[in-house]
Amino acid sequence: MERRFLTRYAWLSIAAALATIVLKGAAYLLTGSVGLLSDALESLVNLAGATLALTMLNLAAAPPDEEHAYGHSKAEYFSSGVEGALILLAAVSIAAFAIERLLNPQPLELIGLGLAVSVVATLINLFVARALLRVAARHNSITLEADAQHLMTDVWTSVGVLAAVGLVALTSWQILDPIIALLVAANITWAGFRITRKSALGLLDTALPPEELARLKEKLARYETQGIQFHALRTRQSGARRFVSMHVLVPGEWTVQKGHRLLEKIEAEIRAALENVTVLTHLESLQDKASFEDQTLDRERE
């Protein structure tokens, strides 16, 4: 399945990051708010993540070659994993700025204008994040999902920062600004952890999600009522690509042609139930005891 078109959404994310860096940087310079500075720093991470996403989406869309016979779809996990790490780095930087300001409070300036500029930046992130989430869900792209989740984190933290700056304007409690910045850092840390964990699970060849496994087993159950057996069922996901392998046990007296036709039918039904899936089946005889000795990943040497 051609996926290079997804790079246009990475370009959209890059454009949004550049716009919000300028807007949030201006809001910080106008107000002197460390909370708004934390927002601007996170937008720098957004830009780095979006740039990496563009590179990895291009690589993931490359066709299989002699060295990568299964394609390059796992490249998306590297993008989301690195973005998760960048988010964690941004959280540390934000916390450092916030602690310094907590120890040395400073009055905020031009709050109204600063808030207005930051609101525009937040709306840009919200629009782009929602667009990326829709595309990521439709095309099963963990790269775009990580980018979108990062932008949504930016949106929610921006809301928190805007609320803090507004409260400072109303109450003159300068301490609220660095406190909210610390909460922003904590929220970003959690988002970075979730993204990094999901990327690690993908690199570890995690099985398909429960709902997809249920669909797969539902297809196989109909054949089991006809005396066909299955074992050594294994699944994994690599980016947007799914892999399913299994042994199919049929009566020993069947011809090769009849068994082959059954496998073709089963594979076709699985491809209809799961998008972008590669299916590998192995035909075995129900009457041969050796058929039941190779269910583990590594068969013992005889």
pLDDT given for residue 169 in this prediction: 65
Q: Is residue 301 part of a domain?
A: no
Per-residue confidence (pLDDT) for residue 29, from 0 to 100: 77
From 159, 184, 203, the end of a domain falls on 203
Q: Are residues 53 and 189 in the same domain?
A: yes
pLDDT mean by block of 10 residues, the chain; 302 residues: 74 88 79 67 78 83 77 76 77 75 62 69 88 85 80 75 69 70 78 79 80 91 89 84 91 92 94 89 88 70 54
In terms of domains, do 74 and 219 share one? no
Q: What is the DSSP letter of 297?
A: S
Tell me which of 188, 203, 218 is where a domain ends. 203
**Residue 154 and residue 31 in one domain:** yes
pTM beyond 0.85: the answer is: no
Which residues have a Cβ under 8 Å from the Cβ of 170 and sit 6 or more positions away?
none
Domain that holds residue 112: 4-203
In the chain, the number of structural domains is 2
In a domain, 181, yes or no: yes
Domain membership flag for residue 31: yes
Distance CA 107, CA 289 (A): 81
CB atoms within 10 A of CB 180: 24
What local confidence, expressed as pLDDT, does residue 265 receive? 94
Same domain, 133 and 233: no
CATH of the domain at 145: 1.20.1510.10
Whether 107 is in a domain gets the answer: yes
Give the CATH number for residue 257: 3.30.70.1350
Counted residue by residue, the chain has a size of 302
**Same domain, yes or no: 191 and 215:** no
DSSP notation for 232-267: EEEEEEETTEEEEEEEEEE-TTS-HHHHHHHHHHHH
pLDDT confidence of residue 61: 77
- For residue 157, CA distances in Å to 15, 140, 226, 230 come to 20, 26, 57, 50
Last-in-domain residue among 187, 203, 219: 203
**Same-domain check for residues 166 and 76:** yes
Helices and strands per DSSP (H, E), number in the chain: 8, 3
